[in-house]
Amino acid sequence: MSAPADIYRRMTDPLAHISFASVCLVFIVASYLIFSFTELSLLRKTYNVIYHYGTFAYTCFLKPHSGDRNGKQQDALESFYGSQATIYDATRAKLLQGRQDMLALVAAQVKHRRQTGQVNQKPIWVDIGGGTGWNIEQMQSQVDVPSFFHAVYLVDLSTSLCDVARQRFERLGWANVHVVCVDARTFRLADYESGVEGGKRDFSIGKSAYDDDTQDRVGADVLTMSYSLSMIPEFHSAVDSITSLLASNGIVGVVDFYVQNRIEFQSRNYIGGAINRHCMWISRVFWRTWFELDRVNLESARRDYIEYKFGTILSSNRRCQLLGFRIPYYIFIGCTRSASGSLDQLEVVDAEATESPFISALDSRIDSINSQKLSRHSAERSRSKAYDTAVVNLSASLPLPATYYQNNKNRIYYDEALPKHRQFNDEYIYAFTWEDARADSRLLKIGSDDVILAITSAGDNILSYCMEKPKRIHAVDLNPAQNHLLELKVAAFRSLEYQDFWKLFGEGKHDNFQKLLLERMSPYLSSQAFDYWLHVGPSTFHSSLYKTGGSRHALSLVAWLGSLLGIRSDMLKLCEAQTLNEQREIWTKRIRRVLLSQLLAYFVVGSERFLWKALGVPAEQKTMIEQDFQRENDRADLMKSGGSTDKQSGHAIWNYAVQTLDPVINHTLISEDNHYYLLCLLGKYTRKCHPAYLTPKAHIKLSQPTALDSLRIHTDELSEVFARMQPESLTIAVLMDSMDWFNSAGPEADAQAKAINRALKVGGRVLLRSAGLNPWYIRAFESNGFSSKRVAARIPLGTCTDRVNMYASTWICTKTLPIA
């Protein structure tokens, strides 16, 4: 049978008629139901989504690129964007992440510069590769674009995208926004700003950012590049052009895709943070190959050249979460390299870090007549690591470390790649400080002439010292994350209202942390601290600040035991007790026999692993507790060859806990006057009971513009900081219990006592706390020019030394004479 005959037979078959009619009926019924019960707007939205992403897929992956035939970049761009210009914004929202964050950071920096007088007129903004103008419209959420900016220039080489941008701003009615369709390398701002003298209209590609005289006299106060640098083939000349285009106090913001290997950046000290910067080899190969199909180049040289040409203010490495994939992108906020490059500025920063007298660059270059005198002075002068690093960078024509470009010079440069800093795995141990600030104030009597060096910990006590208005405070901690936490508190004082400040550090929670970080606190943070909190902050303040860090293990154990043993409600009652008698009754009735059970001491608190992870107690300090217990009870049979048994260890820890907690309950009212233990029980502070720095009065005092300018934050060992201090420049050193960590058989204690003697003035004081009643290292101080006095001790039993009562003794060592 022929094919036409077969088709005719099928078409005349009654069964085929019925089947066709059934299909039509189902289609009609389905269409009726869809159009009857679905809103027309939803149908339109569905159609638009299908159309937009269908066009996007076709243009990016199927449509041949015909623009490369004549070798012109503009034709190549039009071949790619011409058919998708109208749908560009709709299809890039999920892919091009980080743009709003970059704009928020740029806006925060510019507003800060206007508030501090660095930018006196309305700023000019140039958006390089601005495309459809999406960035400029989004900036409206940060500032009022028509009134905030003198002029905004969108520079792009794609005529189709520029047409969309013009329509956008005509619709918005923003007369100060100008769309310029030219190559970014040839854009000259002076050509568009009237009233500029001819001699100031010179423009040169590739001029050094170190020489202020080579800068374009009509400079942009804001320069942004949003996913455009990766699409410029000859990126070196483009970056050179925008380098010369940026004003001396201008801000540059870049967000773009990238891939990079750790080997490429690990030796650089100016990149401003390396968290998540390294990309796995499969990520590097896959994303570089994938994006090349759309003429997007992800090689790391583009980002490297940006960081080489500009000083880094803030930098962060992020991942775009899209359909289960993690695409690497970065955000860079920078300035001209000359912003902090003068020798005088370096000398000022160095002098404040080492307490050395300021020597101007002119003084450093005086003629040979005074050279001998200068040499004698220089020989006595200590230099900070920050200064040494800056000199090396300047001599090698490299940007300075990012800390030199931050708006506030509180944080001193450190090399985050060193193993001594990496050992903490980007985690702080203490989310709150465990020393009584009131006792410190009473013992030290801080005055306006005091220069204090203290261990950072969580920074609570550092802020308490700041309220006393000393001449200078040096906060020192080897763990970078502890200093990041102090930096965050300082930035919050400088930028937030009291209610937001209280939510962050009183309650430990804030739903809008990331918004506050980007828009308010970012201008006051170093790049490393900003990058750290951008990564961990949202999750930290969503759950609770005080449920993070190594100390969370102790708080979690207390809460878990309370729930498991049915005393959680009693713990909460303890936090609400209004009198000491009521508090003692609640404690004695149920809580004490659980928390101070010897079983708990033997198997949990007596564990060396738990003591270090949860409480930050090293093995050496644990040994001191055991030795005091032995002497107290004269139980030498428990010690064998200087060692200790597990039974003795657990019993010693149990006895230490009893002598710590019982006096606290008997002498301090937790609900009103002991925020240390209140936090352990509640996991937060209350309006009635909290550290001194959380009071409204403290916020008024410490939020003043210059209130925290005297603070310097060092990320290093104490010995290193003492060694680089100008001799006899400090008056107070607060070492907490840090010397309990030293090995009694080692040379560290003697070396540190000598270093402290060198740095302290005669009459200067050292405040020490110890888990031992008579710590062995006091002898090291006494043999190195100090007199010692035990100013508090848990003797007799039941004595409460302060509101924490965690340490067996407190000492003040006073320098009586210098040593050679």
Q: What is the pLDDT of residues 736-782, one digit of tens each?
A: 988 988 988 899 999 999 999 999 999 999 999 999 999 999 999 99
Ranges assigned E (strand) in 258-370: 310-322, 325-336
Residue 16 lies in a domain: yes
Owner of token pair 């040499």: 375
Confidence check: pLDDT of 83 > 60: no
Does one domain contain both 169 and 269? yes
pLDDT value, residue 209: 40
Which pair of tokens denotes residue 371? 């050279």
Residue 233 lies in a domain: yes
Q: Using an 8 Å Cβ cutoff, are 526 and 506 in contact?
A: no
H or E segment to which residue 223 belongs: strand 220-226
Residue-range definition of the domain harbouring residue 355: 343-400
Q: Give every CB contact of residue 201 below 8 A, 6+ residues apart in sequence.
A: 188, 190, 191, 217, 218
Does one domain contain both 336 and 474? no
pLDDT value, residue 361: 39
Does one domain contain both 5 and 19? yes
Residue 65 lies in a domain: no
Q: How many domains does the chain have?
A: 5
pLDDT value, residue 598: 64
Confidence check: pLDDT of 177 > 70: yes
pLDDT value, residue 60: 53
Beta bridge partners of 257: 329
pLDDT value, residue 213: 46
Does one domain contain both 164 and 284? yes
- Summary count for the chain: helices (H), strands (E): 38, 14
Calculate helix-pair angle for 343-354, 385-395, nearest 10 degrees. 160
Among 304, 321, 340, residue at a domain's last position = 340
Confidence check: pLDDT of 188 > 90: no
Counting beta carbons within 10 angstroms of the beta carbon of residue 696, is it exposed (0 to 12), middle (13 to 18) or buried (19 or more)? exposed
Least confident interval from 117-121, 164-168, 719-723: 117-121
Confidence check: pLDDT of 17 > 90: no
| CATH classification of the domain holding 709 | 3.40.50.150
Does one domain contain both 107 and 234? yes
Q: In 468-526, where does DSSP find H-type helix?
A: 480-495, 498-502, 513-516
pLDDT value, residue 221: 93
pLDDT value, residue 387: 84
- What is the arithmetic mean of pLDDT over 68-78? 58
- 203 falls in which pLDDT band (50, 70, 90)? very low
- Where is pLDDT greater, at 561 or 563? 563
Q: Using an 8 Å Cβ cutoff, are 611 and 622 in contact?
A: yes
Residue 601 lies in a domain: yes
Does one domain contain both 375 and 251? no
pLDDT value, residue 635: 47
Least confident interval from 20-34, 368-382, 539-553, 681-695: 368-382
- What is the arithmetic mean of pLDDT over 406-433? 91
- Residue 70 phi/psi, 5-degree rounding, is -105, 5
How many angstroms separate the first and last alpha carbons of the chain?
118
Least confident interval from 235-249, 560-574, 721-735: 560-574
Confidence check: pLDDT of 119 > 90: no
Among 340, 373, 392, residue at a domain's last position = 340
H or E segment to which residue 614 belongs: helix 608-615
Confidence check: pLDDT of 574 > 50: yes
Owner of token pair 């999750």: 539
Does one domain contain both 263 and 167? yes
Among 340, 361, 382, residue at a domain's last position = 340
Residue 284 lies in a domain: yes
pLDDT value, residue 477: 95
Q: What's the pLDDT tens digit per position in 48-60?
A: 555 545 655 555 5
Confidence check: pLDDT of 713 > 80: yes
- 158 falls in which pLDDT band (50, 70, 90)? confident
Does one domain contain both 298 and 364? no
- What is the arithmetic mean of pLDDT over 438-443? 94
pLDDT, averaged across the chain: 83
- Where is pLDDT greater, at 279 or 619? 279
Residue 673 lies in a domain: yes
Does one domain contain both 447 and 384? no
Which pair of tokens denotes residue 333? 């906020």
Confidence check: pLDDT of 9 > 90: no
Q: What's the pLDDT tens digit per position in 351-401?
A: 777 776 644 433 443 333 344 443 333 445 678 888 888 888 888 889 999
Q: Give every CB contact of residue 651 below 8 A, 6+ residues apart in sequence.
A: 598, 601, 602, 629
H or E segment to which residue 788 belongs: strand 786-793
Beta-strand pair 325-336/310-322: antiparallel
Whole-number Cα distances in Å, 698 to 689, 702, 708: 14, 6, 12
pLDDT value, residue 642: 47
Q: What's the pLDDT tens digit per position in 250-265?
A: 999 999 999 999 999 9
Does one domain contain both 382 and 254? no
Rounded-to-integer distance, Cα 578 and Cα 16, Å? 89
Residue 534 lies in a domain: no
Which pair of tokens denotes residue 507? 């309650």
Question: Which residue, 112, 243, 101, 103, is CA-closest to 525?
Answer: 112
Rounded-to-integer distance, Cα 681 and Cα 234, Å? 61
Q: Give every CB contact of residue 500 below 8 A, 6+ residues apart in sequence.
A: 492, 510, 516
Does one domain contain both 207 and 254? yes
Q: What's the pLDDT tens digit per position in 627-664?
A: 888 887 764 454 444 444 444 556 777 788 889 999 99
Rounded-to-integer distance, Cα 797 and Cα 807, Å? 13
- What is the arithmetic mean of pLDDT over 27-50? 58
Does one domain contain both 641 and 696? no
Residue 524 lies in a domain: no
Q: Give every CB contact of residue 171 below 8 A, 6+ residues apart in sequence.
A: none
Rounded-to-integer distance, Cα 767 and Cα 749, Å? 15
